[in-house]
Amino acid sequence: MLLSAVSEIMSSKAVVTANIKDNISALDVAKLMVKSKVGSVVMVDGTKPIGIITERDILKKVSAQNKNTQDVPSRDIMSSPLVTIRAIDSIDTAAEVMVKNKVKRLVVLGEDGSMAGVLSMSDVTKKLAKILTDDYSRYRSLRTILDL
């Protein structure tokens, strides 16, 4: 079975970024996520991605520790160094990288090293579920033919 490239299954939403030099708070990041309807914000230095903040980061590193979101700088809660994958890599490679690094999102880099998107574990599972469903449908069709 031939698996798709990361670029074929990553989210089509634009990557939401925030510049580390702007010194924004965890509250600002949370508001940006809500406004953009995304679960993560990639922190950049200029155009270079340097970290990521997810909803889970805000919950674990701010809310669960009873800290005020306005008082927590984004740089204190971002996951860094950033775990990345190339757009041309396969889904199975992406899944291996996620498991190895214990992350649920990867920043996808294009051939020139620029940020091409974000791949989430749910993007991977949706694709794998489709593959399994398609295989099951083919099996049922074949079984019907064989039963004739």
Omega into 73 within 30° of 0, i.e. cis?
no
pLDDT at 1: 46
The one-letter code for the residue type at 58 is I
12, pLDDT greater than 80: no
Higher pLDDT, 128 or 52: 52
Buried b vs exposed e over 101-134: b needs ≥16 C-beta within 10 Å? eebebbbbbeeeeebbbbbbeebbeebeeeeeee
Tokens of 67: 């800290």
pLDDT at 146: 67
Higher pLDDT, 136 or 38: 38
CATH class of 85-148: alpha beta
Average pLDDT, the chain: 88
Out of 36-45, 84-93, 106-115, 120-129, pick the least confident.
120-129
Q: What is the mean pLDDT of residues 122-138?
A: 77
Out of 24-33, 78-87, 92-101, 119-128, pick the least confident.
119-128
Tokens of 73: 């700088």
Indicate the pLDDT class of residue 130, thresholds 50, 70 and 90.
Answer: confident
Largest CA distance in the chain: 70
pLDDT at 143: 66
**Which CATH entry fits the domain spanning 14-82: 3.40.50.300, 3.20.20.140, 3.90.1280.20, 3.40.50.970?**
3.90.1280.20
Q: What is the pLDDT of residues 93-106, one digit of tens each?
A: 999 999 999 999 99
What are the domain boundaries of the chain?
A: 14-82, 85-148
Please, are residues 107 and 83 in contact by the beta-carbon 8 Å criterion?
A: yes
**Rg of the Cα atoms in the chain:** 19
